[in-house]
Amino acid sequence: MNALDPGRASNLTVETAAVGASARAPEPAFDPFSDSLATSVPMRQVIENPTLAEVVRPGPLPEFSMGNADAPVTIIKYASLTCPFCRRFQAEVFPVLKRDYIDRGKVRFIIREFPIGKTSGMATIALRCAPMDRYLELYGRYLSSQAQWVSQEVRIEPILKVAQGVGLTASEFDKCRQNHGMISALNQVKDRGRELGVIGTPNFFINGRLIKKTLDLAELREIIDPLIAGPTAAATSVSVPR
């Protein structure tokens, strides 16, 4: 299961309302991550069987990564902050993945933003506005507190309240919401994911192989343990559906 992205194009406009002006954001002129279909824009070409080099190529923003850069396994997780399956993975699978694999130098783990919907897009701006050394903490806070800030309409105040937990101020958030360069770069990260075949969240690349489903701990071990053991073990491992 995953949260599917209905969008095919991104529409960049500008919201000017300052944080604190209202408990609910006004109807935004700024939709940083529009998921509405744009019939005038053709569907992008999906890269068939991208190489590992194509998959790991960094985008226009510094990527959050943790673990040994030379680890035998690289996992790239495409995630939306409003995705319940991403929340479940973070709560149930990630702690063990970190303890048993990332901290032991066996796995390098990268998070790439794939916001689905306006609310997720606005929270992603806040996530990118915070210092990189607080990225994982704020990422986890947004996922674990989805019930407090996720809604059908964008509500700026609850989104900011979560980010204030890592020291982000209203003024800093307002500036980031007007940072067209950063927002354009975030859209490029998402568009690149679509080109690589990402269709929803969470989607994973594990050593370049795209898996379009959430993974529980048993499934994840089934995939990465043979890769850590070596090519022979990986070739004889049981296949997990994409």
Global pTM reads: 0.82
The sign one gets for the Cα dihedral 81, 84, 85, 90 is positive
pLDDT on residue 16: 29
The beta-strand segments (E) located in the chain are 3-4, 64-66, 73-79, 107-113, 200-201, 203-206, 209-211
By the 8 A CB rule, do 80 and 116 touch? yes
Range picked from 9-13, 26-30, 113-117, 232-236 for highest mean pLDDT: 113-117
Calculate ∠ Cα 221-205-232, nearest 5°: 55
Residue 10 confidence class, pLDDT cut points 50, 70, 90: very low
Query: For position 33, what pLDDT does the model report?
Result: 54
Residue 49 per-residue DSSP state: S
Angle of CA points 39, 49, 194, to nearest 5°:
30
- The single-letter code of the amino acid at 156 is I
Lowest mean pLDDT among 47-51, 62-66, 151-155, 162-166: 47-51
Tokens matching residue 196: 């690589």
What phi-psi label fits residue 49: left (phi over 0), alpha (psi between -120 and 50 degrees) or beta?
left
CA atoms of 101 and 88, how far apart (whole Å): 19
Q: What pLDDT digit, counting tens, does each position of 19-77 carry?
A: 443 333 433 434 455 544 333 344 568 998 898 899 999 899 999 999 999 999 999 99
Average pLDDT over residues 222-227: 97
Q: Would you call 81 helix, strand, or coil by DSSP?
A: coil
pLDDT per position as a tens digit, 77-134 = 999 999 999 999 999 999 999 999 999 999 999 999 999 999 999 999 999 999 999 9
Question: How high is the pLDDT of residue 5?
Answer: 78
pLDDT value, residue 29: 38
- The torsion angles phi and psi of 201, rounded to 5 degrees, stand at -135, 145
pLDDT tens digits along 191-220: 999 999 999 999 999 999 999 999 999 999
DSSP state of 196: T
- With contact defined as beta carbons under 8 Å apart, do 47 and 197 qualify? yes
